[in-house]
Amino acid sequence: MIRSLPPAAILIIGAFLVPFLKGRLKSAYLLLLPVIAFINVVSIPEGIHWAVGFLDYDLILGRVDRLSRVFGYIFTIISFIGTLYALHLKNEDGQHIAAFLAAGGALGATFAGELLTFFVFLEIMTITQTYLIWARRTEASYGAGLRYLLVHLFGGLCLLAGILIHVHQTGSIEFGVIGLDGLASYLILIGLGINCVFPLLHAWLPDAYPEATITGTVFLCAFTTKVAIYALARSFPGTEILIWIGAAMTVFPIFYAVLENDLRRVLSYSLINQVGFMVAGIGIGTPLALNGSVAHVFNNILFKSLLFMSMGAVMLQTGKINATDLGGLYKTMPLTTLFCIIGALSISGFPFFNGFVSKSMILGAAAQGGMGILYLALLFASAGVLHHAGIKIPFFAFFSQDSGIRTKEPPLNMLLAMAIAAFLCLFIGIMPGPLYAILPYPVDFQPYTAAHVVSQLQLVLFAVLAFCFLILSGIYPPEMRAINLDADWFYRKGAKVFYRLADRLLGVKGDASLPYVVGTDREVIRGSEDRKVPS
């Protein structure tokens, strides 16, 4: 029975039954859905399933191979963890439904056997994840959600235009290796690049993720960029330009993350940095590099979700998320502190944590390919992520100065969700064999060699000493409330100019609120975090 449905259908159809259930039955049902979806992913044999005729084409809802299956595993696992984390939401059926629809969209895109089905599921994700931003019900989240929607609709249009041109030129809608060989492929790459936060196309992520609901951010960080990484691995492996795009992505967010005061925004920039490793690995295109990128997707979803969950717990219990407002929380939130530290060590690539066993594969692939500049860039980026996510997040949230805040641990369901993610980070880091066994290509790589461990420990020690030196010497940029301009400044200002020009040319008075929503500077929006959106 389970195998008779596509993985996406289980979550999408199941989502609409949520409002009809109450109490413990609803909680059990919410947790059961992703478990059933996981069993479905495990049990489906490799091959083509659920082909549906449409016009002159076959739409394929289930193309199962080693690449799609590993993404299916982690998407269902994080759906369970994220649902458990959100289980305390008793009167927020909309959030539960949107989360399952987003997860279903991710699974549908992952197992799509052709480009049209992939596009449809990607748009389902866009709409449902926009709701998870709006569900916070502040003016800041309303503006961020609208910008998120507009940016991703534009990316979807680029992707659709590329798909249509590709189909016209080739007569095929197959979702396979495309490569860069013409207008269609460039449009597809741009559409995926927006979802994958390529440089200058990235600003939607640190704008939207910190404004989403505490529980919704877990689903946002797990799906959008990772589905795009899957599509790049499927369609553009070995595309050289991705090497340098990925290298740039690993480096530039470091500087923004150091300056940011909002700790969820720090994690958002850190996410761009980590996705850069995956993009670079896909650009290298060797089996080791592709295995490293896919393994890093798997691990990143775990440790990045763990970090967002720990900061969400802090936000729920204190009502604050800025580094300047926090500190000393380890005294009353010891478990949350421990889970955050595990996430921080994992993202930093510390030996015996899961980030180490995947990031070292990408670094090893760069070294094997004789890409010295790329290797040094990734090494610098590794030190940078250790600095801003591995040290800054736990230091300023739980240690640093004593903020005087005395609170308690978050609800039990949130602690259990963090505990599961933390356990998996440790388990995979200590025993990477089960993860290596499900990767797309046979793995002949040993992460725990003396050279790998010593070099990573040297990097960790250097980053810690550098952080301590900068703090003690007063050189480290002080944590303060400030507005950091990003690439979105250009399209915010450009949107205002375009609107005014269109208004003048057409001679039509538009809604006065539109320039506020589309083009207003971020300082106005973020200054209104606690005000409700007018009905």
With a cut of 90, say whether residue 385 has pLDDT above it.
Answer: no
Question: Which among 186, 218, 236 is the end of a domain?
Answer: 236
* Banded pLDDT at 513 (limits 50, 70, 90): very low
Residues 323 and 376 in one domain: yes
Tell whether the model's pLDDT for residue 517 goes beyond 60: no
Indicate the pLDDT class of residue 451, thresholds 50, 70 and 90: confident
Residues 238-260: tens digit of each pLDDT? 999 999 999 999 999 988 888 88
Q: Is the pLDDT of residue 525 over 50?
A: no
221 pLDDT higher than 80:
yes
Q: Quick check: 506 pLDDT over 80?
A: no
When pLDDT is averaged across residues 444-455 and rounded to a whole number, the result is 87
Tell whether 35 is covered by a domain.
Answer: yes
Q: Does residue 186 form part of some domain?
A: yes
535: pLDDT confidence band, cut at 50, 70 and 90? very low
Q: Is the pLDDT of residue 461 over 70?
A: yes
Residues 476 and 515 in one domain: no
The confidence band for 529, taking pLDDT boundaries of 50, 70 and 90, is very low
- Structure confidence at residue 527 as a pLDDT band (50, 70, 90): very low
Q: Is the pLDDT of residue 524 over 80?
A: no
Residue after which a domain boundary falls, among 236, 268, 291: 236
User: Is the full-model pTM beyond 0.75?
Assistant: yes
Mean pLDDT, residues 51-61 taken together = 85
Higher pLDDT, 471 or 163: 163
pLDDT for 5 beyond 90: no
Spell out the residues 6+ positions from residue 238 whose beta carbon is closer than 8 angstroms to its own: 282, 283, 284, 285, 286
Claim to verify: residue 472 and residue 508 sit in the same structural domain? no
| Both structure tokens of 111 | 């197992």
Q: Which 8-state DSSP code applies to residue 391?
A: I
Tell me whether residue 148 is in a domain. yes
How high is the pLDDT of residue 534? 34
Q: Average pLDDT of the chain?
A: 89
Please tell me whether residues 88 and 127 are part of one structural domain. Answer: yes
Is 534 contained in some domain? no
Q: Give the count of domains, the chain.
A: 3
Whether residues 453 and 507 fall in one domain: no
Lowest mean pLDDT among 3-17, 139-153, 476-490: 476-490
In a 10 Å sphere around its CB, with 0-12 CB exposed, 13-18 middle and 19+ buried, how is residue 16 labelled? exposed
Q: What is the pLDDT of residue 526?
A: 35
Assigned domain for 535 exists: no
* Confidence bin at 389 (pLDDT 50/70/90): confident
Could you give the 3-state DSSP secondary structure of residue 143?
helix
Considering the domain architecture, whether residues 464 and 504 belong to the same structural domain is answered as no
- Do 96 and 206 lie in one domain? The reply is yes
The DSSP string of 210-238 is: GGS-TTHHHHHHHHHHHHHHHHHHHH-TT
**Are 7 and 142 found together in one domain?**
yes
Q: Which of 224, 248, 251 is nearest to 388 (CA)?
A: 251
Q: How confident is the model at residue 481 (pLDDT cuts 50, 70, 90)?
A: low
Cα-Cα-Cα-Cα dihedral sign, residues 304, 308, 313, 314: positive
Same domain, 321 and 445: yes
Boundaries of domain holding 302: 238-486
Whether 406 and 502 share a structural domain = no
Lowest mean per-residue pLDDT among 61-65, 311-315, 348-352, 461-465: 461-465
Q: What pLDDT sits at residue 34?
A: 97
Helix axes 412-430, 287-318, angle to 10 degrees: 160
- pLDDT tens-digit profile of 408-438? 999 999 999 999 999 999 999 999 999 999 9
The lowest-confidence range among 11-20, 150-159, 351-360, 478-487 is 478-487
Residue 532 lies in a domain: no
Is residue 138 situated within a structural domain? yes
- Residue/partner pairs of 104-107 with CB below 8 Å, 24 or more apart: 104/8, 104/9, 104/10, 104/11, 104/12, 104/15, 105/8, 105/12, 105/223, 106/75, 106/222, 106/223, 106/226, 106/227, 107/6, 107/7, 107/8, 107/11, 107/37, 107/41, 107/72, 107/75, 107/76
**CA separation for the pair 422, 303 (Å, rounded):** 7
* Per-residue pLDDT reduced to its tens digit, 334-374: 999 999 999 999 999 899 999 999 999 999 999 999 998 99
pLDDT at 482: 59
Q: pLDDT tens, 365-376? A: 999 999 989 999
Do 290 and 192 belong to one domain? no
Please indicate, yes or no, whether residues 271 and 214 belong to a single structural domain of this protein: no
% of the chain exceeding 90 in pLDDT: 70
> Of 175, 203, 236, which residue sits at a domain end?
236
The per-residue pLDDT for 532 is 39
Residue 533 lies in a domain: no
Length of the chain as a residue count:
535
What is the distance between the alpha carbons of residues 64 and 436, in angstroms, rounded to a whole number? Answer: 18
Please give the share of the chain, as a percent, with pLDDT higher than 70.
92
- What is residue 475's predicted lDDT score, i.e. its pLDDT? 66
